[in-house]
Structure 1
Amino acid sequence: MARMRFDFDQTTKKPELTLGFIRRILNYFKPHTLKLILVIFLILATSTLGLVPSLLLQKIVDVALPKHNLTQLSILVGLSISATILLNLLQVAQGYLSTWIAKNITLTMKNNLYRQLSFLPQSFFTTVKEGEILTRLTSDVDGIQQVFQTTFINALSSIFILATTLFALFSMNPILAVVALVTVPLFILPTRKVGKRRWQIASASQQALSKLNQHTQETLSTSGSTLMKLFTKEEEAFATFNKINQEVTALQIKESLAGRWFRMAMSVLMAIGPMLIYLVGGFLLTRGQLTIGGIITFASLLGRLYNPVTQLSNIQVDLLRSFALFERIFEYMDITPAIQNKPNAKKLVIDRGEVVFSDVNFHYEENEVLKTINLKILPGETLALVGPSGAGKSTLTHLLTRLYDPTSGTVTIDNQNIKEITLTSLRQNIGVVSQETFLFNGTIYDNLLYANENASKIELIAATKAAYIHDFIMTLPNGYDTVVGNRGIKLSGGEKQRIAIARMILKNPQILILDEATSALDAISEYYVQKAMDNLMQNRTSIVIAHRLSTIANADQIAVMEHGEIVEQGKHAQLIEKDGLYARLYQTQFKNTEAAA
C-alpha cells in the first residue's frame, strides 16, 4: 500500500465511455426499476396531454366559435382546462418520483464513497490535495443528481414531446409540417457548438473555483489563520484570494455571455417560424386545404417542436459532463485497499501481550525506510524508541497498527501474525497517544466516549482522575459538557493530552504506543501528562517514542534507531557505558538542559 501513488489528474477531459462504464452507471438505477418505469409512463402521458389544449383550440376556432355554439364552446374549454390540470398533476407526480430516485441514488453513492474512503490507506490521505475529498464526496456526487433530474428526464421528455408533436403536425397537414421543420436544422449545429463552448468555460471556472476554495480553506482554517497572522501574511493572502477570485468572476461572466449572439438569432428564428406558418398556411387556406384553427394550432405547436430539438442538441455535452462526474467518483471507488482483512482472518486473542518484529523491512515508494528490524517486547514491558528525526521510529509503530504493511518480514502479537488477524480486533487492542492530539469539535464528554460509547459516568470520571484532568474539567463553567472547539483549540496542549490519555484509559487496550506525547509541553504540563501516562502504562506492553531522553530512562529496554536501522539496544545505563549514539544524544540534551537552567 505504501508504494502506491495517488496523483490524480484534476484537468477536465472527456471520459472514456465503454460498455462496462455505462453498465456500472446503470447499476445505480437498478434498485429503482419500477419507479423508473412509472416515471417513463408519466413522461409519455404528459407529453401526450400537452397536445390536447392546442388540438382543442382548433375545434374552438373552427367549430364552436363560427357556429356560436356556447354549449360546445364550454365543453371544449372545460376539457382544455381539465387536461391542463391533469397535465400539471402528473408533472408533480413525475417530479416527485424523479427527485426521490435521484436523491436515493446520491444517498447510496455518498455512503459507498464514504465507506470506501474510510478504509483507504494513509498514503492516500497524505498525497491527495486538501479539500479534494470533500469536493468529490459532496459537489461531485450532488452533481450526479442532475444526471437523472435534468439530463435523463429532459432527454426522455424531449424525445416524447418531439415524437408526439411531429405525429400531430403530420397528421394535420404534411405540407405545413415540412415548413415547420425547415428552421429546425438552424437550431442544431449552433446549439451544439455553443454548448461545448460553455462546457469548456464552465470546466475552467470550476477549476479556478477549486483553487479559490483550497486557498480559503488553507488560510482561514484554525492553524492556517494563526500561521498567517504570526508571519503577517494577511495582505499577501488577500492579494492571492483577490487574484483567483477575479479569475473566477471573469470566467463566470464569460460563461454567462457565451452564445449571446446565438440566443439573439434563436429568438429571431423562433419569431420567423410562426410567420412562415401563417404565410404558407394562408396560401393553403385560400385553396381550402387548411382551416384558420389549423393554422393557429400549427403556430402554437411550434414551441413544442423547437424546445426539444434545442435540448436534444445539447444532450451530448450534458451527458459528457455527467459522465465526467461519474468517472471522478469511480476513480476513488476503484482504489483497492491493499491493507484489508484476509478471507480467513481470525480475531486477535491476547493472553500475554508479547510483540515481536522479525526481519522487518519497509519501503515507501522508492525509499528504504526500515532495514532488517528485529525487536522483541515482552509482556508488560516498556520499549523506548529513540533516535534522530527521520530515523523511522513512528513508521515502525505504524506497522504494528497496520497503517502500513512491511515490505518483508513479520510482526506478531503473542505469536499471531498481525496480517492473519482482523483489522478491527488488532486496532481495538492497541492504543495510540501522539504528540498531535485530535479532538472533535464537541463536548469533552463526547470526545471521551469516542473510545468507549458504553462507558458509565463512574468509569469516565475514574479515567479522567487517573489522567489528572478531572479537577480541571470541574473548573469549567459547563464541566464535561464544555465544547472544546475545532481540534480542541479552546484547550491547552497539556489539557488536550490528558483528555487523550483519559480517552485511552477508557479504551483499555492491551498494547500502548506513546508517540512523543510530551515533546511539545511545558514542564508543569509534562509533569502531569507523565504521571497520567505512568497510570496508563501499568500492566500494559508499551512502545514509547520520545526526544526527551529523561522521560524514558527507566524503560525496560531502549532501541536506538538511525537511518531506519537499530544501531544500539539495551537499558539506559548500558547504553551510556557504550558511549555510542544514545550517549551522545543524552549528553547533548543534558548539556542543553544545564545551559537553559
Structure 2
Amino acid sequence: MIPMAMGGPGGGRPGDAKQDKEWLAEHPVSLHRVAGLFRPHLRTVIVVILLIVASSLIGLAQPFIVRELIDVAIPEQDVKLLLALAGGLVLIALINAVLGVIQTWRATLMGQKVMHGLRTGLFAHLQKQSLAFFTNSRSGEVQSRLTNDVGQMQSVITNSATSIASNLTTVVATACAMVAISWKLSLISLVVLPPAIILARQTARLRRKITGARQREMSTLTSIIEERLSISGVRLAKVMGTGTLDAEQFTESSSKLIDLEMRSALAGRWRMAAMSIIFAAVPAVLYIVAGLPVTGDGMSIGTLVAFTGLQAGIFRPVLG
C-alpha cells in the first residue's frame, strides 16, 4: 500500500503518487510500524503465542510415547503400560484439536479487528485528501487500494502471522526432540535444514516481487472497470467511439494478470520439488545408518521409528 493511503510524504498533493511509490521502494515499512497494528491487541497476541507453544510442546510427546510402545510395552506385553501409552496418544490428539480451534478463533478475531482498523483508518484518511488528489489519481486505483490491497493483507494478518510463529516454534522444538532421541541421526537430518531455509527465502523473495506486480495489474484492471463502465465513462465511449479500444485495453490487462497469476502459482516450485526429494531421501539414509554395525549399534527400532516421524514432521514448517 502506497504512503498516500498510510500517511507517507505525499500528503495528497498533485503529482505526488509517483514520488510516494519511489519513496516507499527506498524506505520499506518497518517492523515497528507493523507491530503497532497489533499493539491494541497485545493480550490476544500473548494468548495465541502461548497456545502455539503449548500445542507444539504437547505434540512432541507423541514420538517418545511411540518409542516406549515399540521398545517396551509391546515386546514385554505389558497391558497396563500399553493402554496408558495408547490413551496418551489419543489424549494428545484431543488436546491439540481443542487448542487448534481456540487458536484459530482468537487469531481470526484479532486479525479481523486489525483489518477493521486498517479499512476504517484508510477510508477516513482518503476522505481528508484534497480534490486535487482525486483529480490526479484514478478512482479505480484508489478503490483497489481499499479493497484488493487490504484484502491481500487480511490473509497475512489472520493466517501468515500465526503460521510463522507456529512453524518457528515447531522447528525449534522438533530439533531439540530429535537431538534428545539420537544426536547421531540428528547430524544427518539437520544438515539439510540450512539449504532448505535458503531456498525457501529465495522463493519468498520471488513470490513477493510477483505479488507486487500482480497487485499493480489488479489496480489497473479495477481502474479500467471503474472508469469505462461508469455512466459517464459509457457515455464518453459512445460519443467518442472508443468502445473497441477500451475492450482491447481490458483484454490486455486481463491477459497480463493471467500471466502473473501463473507465475505466482509456479514461483519456486522446482526449488521446493528438489527439497521435497531431498527430505524424502533422508529417511532412507537414516535406515542405512541404523542398520550399519558401526553407527547403529544399540539403536532400538522404537528410536528409529520415533526419529523418522520427527524428521518427516519438520519438513513442512521449515519450508513454511
Aligned counterparts of 1:39 and 1:49: Cα–Cα separation in 2: 15
1:57 alignment partner in structure 2: 66
Do residues 81 (structure 1) and 90 (structure 2) align? Answer: yes
Secondary structure of the 1:131 match is: helix
Do residues 45 (structure 1) and 54 (structure 2) align? Answer: yes
Aligned ranges 1:548-587 → 2 under 5 Å: none
CA separation of 1:71/1:15 partners in 2, compared to 1, >3 Å: closer, same or farther?
Answer: farther
Supply the RMSD in Å over aligned alpha carbons. 2.5
Q: Summarize deviations over 1:410-449 as a string: whole Å, max 9, x none.
A: xxxxxxxxxxxxxxxxxxxxxxxxxxxxxxxxxxxxxxxx
Do residues 33 (structure 1) and 37 (structure 2) align? Answer: no
2:112 alignment partner in structure 1: 103
Aligned counterparts of 1:158 and 1:287: Cα–Cα separation in 2: 31
Q: Does the 8 Å contact 2:144/2:222 carry over to 1? A: no
Aligned counterparts of 2:313 and 2:239: Cα–Cα separation in 1: 63
Q: State the one-letter code of the partner of 1:22.
A: L
Do residues 216 (structure 1) and 262 (structure 2) align? Answer: no
Do residues 16 (structure 1) and 27 (structure 2) align? Answer: yes
Q: Summarize deviations over 1:192-211 as a string: whole Å, max 9, x none.
A: 22222222222222222221
Q: Does the 8 Å contact 2:14/2:133 carry over to 1? A: yes
CA separation of 1:166/1:147 partners in 2, compared to 1, >3 Å: closer, same or farther?
Answer: same
Q: Does the 8 Å contact 1:12/1:203 carry over to 2? A: no
CA separation of 1:23/1:201 partners in 2, compared to 1, >3 Å: closer, same or farther?
Answer: closer
Q: Does the 8 Å contact 1:4/1:123 carry over to 2? A: yes
Do residues 276 (structure 1) and 277 (structure 2) align? Answer: no
Q: State the one-letter code of the partner of 2:233.
A: G
Aligned counterparts of 2:12 and 2:92: Cα–Cα separation in 1: 65
CA separation of 1:286/1:27 partners in 2, compared to 1, >3 Å: closer, same or farther?
Answer: closer
Alignment gaps of 5+ in structure 2: 1-9
Secondary structure of the 1:28 match is: helix
Displacement of 1:252 after TM fit? 1.5
Q: Does the 8 Å contact 2:12/2:133 carry over to 1? A: no
Q: Does the 8 Å contact 1:131/1:214 carry over to 2? A: yes
Aligned counterparts of 2:294 and 2:71: Cα–Cα separation in 1: 12
Identity %: 27
Displacement of 1:233 after TM fit? 2.9
Which one has a bigger Cα radius of gyration? 1
Aligned ranges 1:30-179 → 2 under 5 Å: 30-179=39-188
Secondary structure of the 1:195 match is: helix
CA separation of 1:13/1:108 partners in 2, compared to 1, >3 Å: closer, same or farther?
Answer: closer
Structure with the higher strand share, 1 or 2: 1
Aligned ranges 1:497-512 → 2 under 5 Å: none
Aligned counterparts of 2:207 and 2:153: Cα–Cα separation in 1: 19
The higher-RCO structure (CA 8 Å, 6+ apart) is 2
Q: Does the 8 Å contact 2:144/2:218 carry over to 1? A: no
Aligned counterparts of 1:24 and 1:291: Cα–Cα separation in 2: 51
Q: Does the 8 Å contact 1:285/1:292 carry over to 2? A: no
Q: State the one-letter code of the partner of 2:72.
A: V
Aligned counterparts of 1:15 and 1:79: Cα–Cα separation in 2: 54
Aligned counterparts of 2:255 and 2:309: Cα–Cα separation in 1: 45
1:193 alignment partner in structure 2: 202
CA separation of 1:284/1:161 partners in 2, compared to 1, >3 Å: closer, same or farther?
Answer: farther
Displacement of 1:24 after TM fit? 3.2
Aligned counterparts of 2:88 and 2:130: Cα–Cα separation in 1: 64
Q: State the one-letter code of the partner of 1:267.
A: S
Aligned counterparts of 1:25 and 1:261: Cα–Cα separation in 2: 32
2:216 alignment partner in structure 1: 207
Displacement of 1:185 after TM fit? 2.3
Q: Does the 8 Å contact 1:48/1:164 carry over to 2? A: yes
CA separation of 1:43/1:254 partners in 2, compared to 1, >3 Å: closer, same or farther?
Answer: same
Q: Summarize deviations over 1:21-71 as a string: whole Å, max 9, x none.
A: 433332322221111111111010011122122221111111122123344
Do residues 291 (structure 1) and 304 (structure 2) align? Answer: no
Secondary structure of the 2:196 match is: helix
